[in-house]
Structure 1
């Protein structure tokens, strides 16, 4: 891989992470206290707790943010531990929504979302419209970053070091440990899955290895 490919890969990762942050912050800003109300009041049954966890995490795109929020509610005695557990379970399901959107290639229309979102932020005065525009911008940036990463990893199929690494990671235990360490390093399972999806769609990572790495 050339230095330009590495720069594209890092730049794509930066856009992906920034897009996730913008999306998360914008949704929280748009929802305001309603997000807290949902978590506090709509978790009186196990099924509701799981569904709320799925919905909120799919919207915020960060199971970590939801978990931290739940810990805060529990410490403030606004929610019981039992309710929080079911919401966290739903949150772990909701965090897979990003991977599903990657699978259907939403990135094709990502620039459209980014352009419309920026337009709404610049030319509208309504706080609500600006918040929605920020959400669309974050969504667009996220998938534009993913597309950059997908293009950058193509030359890896000819790299002996990468091929040797993939051969080593065919061992399930090593695949899980490698993915766990990488996710801990970048602090985003969504970004880790995004990079893995980019490699898998180019045929650089076999399904069996990808499955174990997702577990990690």
Structure 2
């Protein structure tokens, strides 16, 4: 029972850390975030770079996509401008996975970062202006690694009791079930980063095989679209197109990632037999980054067609009395 409490508490600390760091970084960015999203989204390609960079800085793809949806609703961004941001957001969020895999597991910074939490809390309590925001971000950063350590302790206590056999089998059907489980976890936690950290901890401790963890991570990428979807409720057609674009794009990316999972494993086994299971957490974040990068590379040349598809899927509401009139009549308003 204590191990489960440790695992749940670690996940909670990780989530609180992500929330605090995101809030602090958003406050630090201030109007610069608005200016960056408006200035560097002239094309889908520049928008994708901007979305990836913004998400990497804020450590939250949900924050980026919800901001894009809000800016479209407020008229600060057009739908085509926001489309690139949506494409790039998923790529930026993979930075969190690299941070967890390389710093959380390899360097184990949790003890070193404890003073950072105190320093951040003091800056938040006694600082002014940007120092308070920086303190919030610093405390959140430290809490992330304390949470990772607590999850590792909890997971190690469950060693032998939770094994890959405790989850759906490593088959096509089993991996599909794990994909749905990953989406559900993200819907509950409202953070794909927390889900990915949990999957990394599980695969690091041997509770999950690589293929099982990878299927869950794919599902988490799909599940993260729920936040943007909720942000579109009651919005205009352009707002809904922006939110729905995130859903459609992530679903297509998830399908492609699911199909490329076994070829990815086979490539690792050909290049370095057994390495994918010995360095499973690194291989997992590499897979997460790879399928998101390939998704962006493949969709950018088709951004125009994608936009037209979304225009067809979410048409502009027509006025009851004038919607069906011929546009040529605009030349003679008296008619």
Equivalent pair of 1:118/1:134 in contact (CA under 8 Å): no
Q: State the match for 2:137 in structure 1.
A: 135
CA separation in 2, counterparts of 1:100 and 1:23?
Answer: 17
Aligned length: 213
CA separation in 2, counterparts of 1:113 and 1:51?
Answer: 30
Deviates more, 1:164-173 or 1:183-192: 164-173
**Deviation sequence 1:81-101 (CA, Å, 0-9, x none):** 111111011111001111011
Q: State the match for 1:63 in structure 2.
A: 61
Please, which runs of 5 or more residues in structure 1 have no aligned partner? none
Deviates more, 1:165-174 or 1:93-102: 165-174
Q: State the match for 1:175 in structure 2.
A: 178
Q: State the match for 1:116 in structure 2.
A: 116
SS in 1 for 2:119: helix
Q: Relative contact order, CA 8 A, sep 6+: which one is greater?
A: 1
> Offset of 1:125 from its aligned partner?
3.4
Q: State the match for 1:10 in structure 2.
A: 8
Distance 1:155 1:163, change over 3 A: farther
2:157 corresponds, among 155, 164, 172, to: 155
Equivalent pair of 2:40/2:50 in contact (CA under 8 Å): yes
Please, which runs of 5 or more residues in structure 2 have no aligned partner? 220-335
> Offset of 1:117 from its aligned partner?
4.9
1:45 corresponds, among 37, 43, 46, to: 43
Equivalent pair of 1:40/1:79 in contact (CA under 8 Å): yes
Equivalent pair of 2:179/2:215 in contact (CA under 8 Å): yes
1:93 corresponds, among 91, 98, 114, to: 91
Equivalent pair of 1:54/1:95 in contact (CA under 8 Å): yes
Alignment of 1:28-39 (within 5 A): 28-39=26-37
CA separation in 1, counterparts of 2:168 and 2:41?
Answer: 45
> Offset of 1:122 from its aligned partner?
1.9
**Deviation sequence 1:78-125 (CA, Å, 0-9, x none):** 111111111011111001111011111346224434423532552663
CA separation in 2, counterparts of 1:169 and 1:175?
Answer: 9
SS in 2 for 1:105: helix
TM-score by length of 2: 0.60
TM-score by length of 1: 0.90
SS in 1 for 2:27: helix
CA separation in 1, counterparts of 2:143 and 2:131?
Answer: 18
CA separation in 1, counterparts of 2:134 and 2:18?
Answer: 15
CA separation in 1, counterparts of 2:214 and 2:116?
Answer: 36
CA separation in 1, counterparts of 2:184 and 2:14?
Answer: 19
Q: State the match for 1:194 in structure 2.
A: 197
CA separation in 1, counterparts of 2:192 and 2:133?
Answer: 25
CA separation in 2, counterparts of 1:144 and 1:156?
Answer: 19
Distance 1:158 1:106, change over 3 A: closer
CA separation in 2, counterparts of 1:181 and 1:149?
Answer: 19
> Offset of 1:62 from its aligned partner?
1.3
Larger Rg over CA atoms? 2
> Offset of 1:27 from its aligned partner?
0.6
> Offset of 1:167 from its aligned partner?
4.5
CA separation in 1, counterparts of 2:114 and 2:131?
Answer: 14
Equivalent pair of 1:53/1:90 in contact (CA under 8 Å): yes
